[in-house]
Structure 1
Amino acid sequence: MVNNQFRFFCTDLDGTLLGNDQFSSKFKQVWENIPEERRPLLCYTSGRLLDDILHLIQSKILPEPDYIVAAVGTSIYDFGQQKIIRQFTELLDEGWNLAQVNTIASSLSVNLEKQPEHFQNEYKSSWYLNNAPDEQIDQIRESFEEADDLQVRVVYSSSRHLDILPNSANKGNSLKWLLKHLGISTSETIVAGDSGNDSAMFTIRGIRGIVTGNAQPELLDKTATLDVYRAPQSEVCAQAVINGLRHYGIVLMEDLPSTDPQDPVHLERVVLVSS
């Protein structure tokens, strides 16, 4: 049955669309098989920088999207127009000073390791911090709160990645801004993800979601009471995304490749069990 309710699909990349080459390739084929008249707008949201995401698209690993939210919600790119949407970027300047952020981070009494330059941008200071307890992350937040002229957000995900961002920057806020910019409601939107920094998308009122079978505990906890397609642990990365889109009626049986390596009966059973 065709579902015309959904106009926008926003998905994380690493651990969601990426992470299983077979099903990443299958997702690209399935998405491009959906007729344009019933295919939602496609948006990628990722901690990766924009150039890295564009390289994945140019390499034919991913289908061409309509929009890209890069660097943990710090920039929005209109793929059709091939340009950054500057109205959003200008909102991030308030309370943000990258040099001051880096100075404070470097002076913290925790074992932070700065991530390589290709993970950094003017609105994102990214570090490695392994297996930090909640108390340690709270202490880091307090250190930044003591700087009166800064308004920042500290995001810790995957038990390793520490991002310091402008206060208004995260995947959820950037998605809300883009939806409003496009005149699309949250009830017309599906998101997909696997980690804690995706949770800000799932908790937007009215959003439907796809939680992959390889999702991390922090996302599972945040979405425990939400209306989502929760994939079993055997469904990982893009495999879960495809089945989640089947669940919501975006992908139909006719969109699946004729040489589909997965039993279509299993796909139908997943939809029924998860309804």
Structure 2
Amino acid sequence: MAIKMIAVDLDGTLLTSGNNISPETQRTLQLASSQGIKVVLASGRPLSGVLPFDEQLGLSGDDQYAVVFNGAVVQNLAGKILMSQEMDYRDFNTMLRLQRLAHVNLHFETTECFWTLDRNLSVQMQINAAFTDNEIRVRNREEIPKDFTFNKVGFTCNRGSDQIEKLWNSIPDWAFQSYDIVHSLDTCIELNAIGASKGNAVMDLAERLKLSQNEVMVFGDQGNDLSMFENPEFKKVAMGNAISDIKDRADYITDDNDHNGIAKALKKFVL
């Protein structure tokens, strides 16, 4: 069956190591879009961190879409929220307890900004905010309202620290049963509400667009893409730079993100 939607991770997949889209990949995705194939960026970033790359691909408006916050939110590119899975004040307190398991920063991501109680911010947290054009609001605990909700949590540390690994090995089993948790980078652990994942969000969006799951092709490289690679119906393409868990579940392994891996796979299977 022909591919009618392409879901593409950003960092390490669409973007080169220089944090840009290669000209060949851009041309190929634009060609796919011109043929009526939905190109959907699927990222851990909020929409503000995705839109510049959508614009570069010529994508905008009510009938183009993005999967953001690792699948906790699906929005059209005009900003309308189609689906949102949130955590609440009880989860907020749970995250503070998990933070005590290691010396890490903790921030809470909403569609408006990042929130944190930490005064000394890791470089990784600052990078995350800068790359997504997000304000970081530093607050005291008593300033967080009881009706506070958020879409994603990030635990971060500075490069070279062993504290993220310590936290990962210390997270109790009940937390993995209660939340979707991914070790997305050496310096970052990301957490969402249970069931909030890129894989589920892409599947739900396909259903909204009246597409069959076997009409969906996905591209990814890291742990937060794994849920897309667990769907047996999707056409799954791992980047050459992907982790082994992604490659093991892929239907095809393409070239890496610095050598037009997306373009090569699309020319082979779609265009």
Under TM normalisation by the shorter chain, which class is it? 0.7 to 0.9
Task: Give the equivalent residue in structure 2 for 1:239.
Answer: 260
Alignment correspondent of 1:139: 170
**Alignment correspondent of 1:264:** none
Distance 2:88 2:150 in 1: 13
Alignment partners' CA distance in 1, 2:87 and 2:223: 25
Shift of 1:69: 0.5
Equivalents in 1 of 2:219, 2:65: separation in Å?
Answer: 15
The answer on whether the counterparts of 1:17 and 1:238 sit within 8 Å (CA) in structure 2 is no
Counterpart residue identity of residue 124, structure 1: K
Partner of 2:238: 211
Question: Could you tell me how far apart the structure 2 residues matched to 1:182 and 1:126 are?
Answer: 31
Query: What code does the residue aligned with 1:236 have?
Result: N
1:165 pairs with 2:192: yes
Whether the 8 Å CA contact 1:141–1:154 is kept in 2: the answer is no
Paired position in structure 1 for 2:29? 31
Of residues 156, 169, 181, the one that matches 2:183 is 156
After superposition, the Cα gap between the structure-2 partners of 1:205 and 1:119, relative to the gap in structure 1 and judged at 3 Å, is farther
Structure 2: gaps spanning 5 or more residues: 107-124, 137-148
Secondary structure in structure 2 of the residue aligned to 1:72: helix
Work out whether residues 87 and 151 of structure 2, in 8 Å CA contact, stay in contact via their aligned partners in 1. Answer: no
Distance in 2 between residues matched to 1:39 and 1:237, nearest whole Å: 26
**Other-structure match for 2:49:** 52
| Deviation of the 1:102 alpha carbon | 3.1
Q: Quick one: which amino acid aligns to residue 51 of structure 2?
A: L
Percent identity (aligned): 20
State the match for 2:151 in structure 1: 123
Q: Tell me which of 67, 70, 73 is aligned to 2:71.
A: 73
Consecutive unaligned residues in structure 1, runs of 5 or more: 252-275
What is the number of equivalent residue pairs in this alignment?
A: 228
Corresponding residue SS for 2:195: coil
Distance 1:63 1:97, change over 3 A: farther
Q: What is the identity, as a one-letter code, of the residue corresponding to 2:214?
A: S
Question: Deviation at 1:131?
Answer: 6.0
Cα separation, partners in 2 of 1:186 and 1:112, compared to 1, 3 Å: same
Higher share in strand = 2
Richer in helix (by share): 1
User: What is the RMSD of the two structures over their aligned residues, measured on CA atoms?
Assistant: 3.0
Distance in 1 between the 2:86 and 2:231 partners?
23
CA distance in 2, matches of 1:33, 1:77: 23
2:4 matched to which residue of 1?
7
Alpha-carbon deviations, 1:29-50, whole Å to 9, x = none? Answer: 22223473x3311100011111
Equivalents in 1 of 2:162, 2:201: separation in Å?
27
Of 19-28 and 209-218, more deviation after overlay is shown by 19-28
SS in 1 for 2:260: helix
1:207 positional shift: 0.8
Deviates more, 1:98-107 or 1:7-16: 98-107
User: 1:113 and 2:134 equivalent?
Assistant: no
1:113–1:217: structure 2 CA closer, same or farther, 3 Å change rule? farther
How far residue 52 of structure 1 moved from its aligned partner, in angstroms, is: 1.5
Per the TM alignment, residue 9 of structure 1 is displaced from its structure 2 partner at its CA by 0.5
Give the whole-Å Cα distance in 2 for the aligned partners of 1:143 and 1:28: 42
Change in Cα spacing, 1:83 to 1:48, as seen in structure 2 (3 Å) is same
Q: Deviations over 1:216-248 (max 9, x none)?
A: 233224x1xx4x22125xx43560101111121
Matched, 1:41 2:38: yes
Q: Deviations over 1:185-236 (max 9, x none)?
A: 1111100011121111011121112211111233224x1xx4x22125xx43
2:104, 2:164 within 8 Å by CA — same for their partners in 1? no
Map Cα deviations across residues 32-89 of structure 1 (whole Å, 9 max, x no partner): 23473x331110001111111113334x3x441621011111110112x54111xx21
Is the deviation greater in 237-246 or in 132-141?
132-141
SS of 2:219's partner is strand
Larger-gyration structure (1/2): 1
Supply the distance in 1 between the matched residues of 2:21 and 2:233 (Cα, whole angstroms): 28
SS of structure 2 residue aligned to 1:42: strand
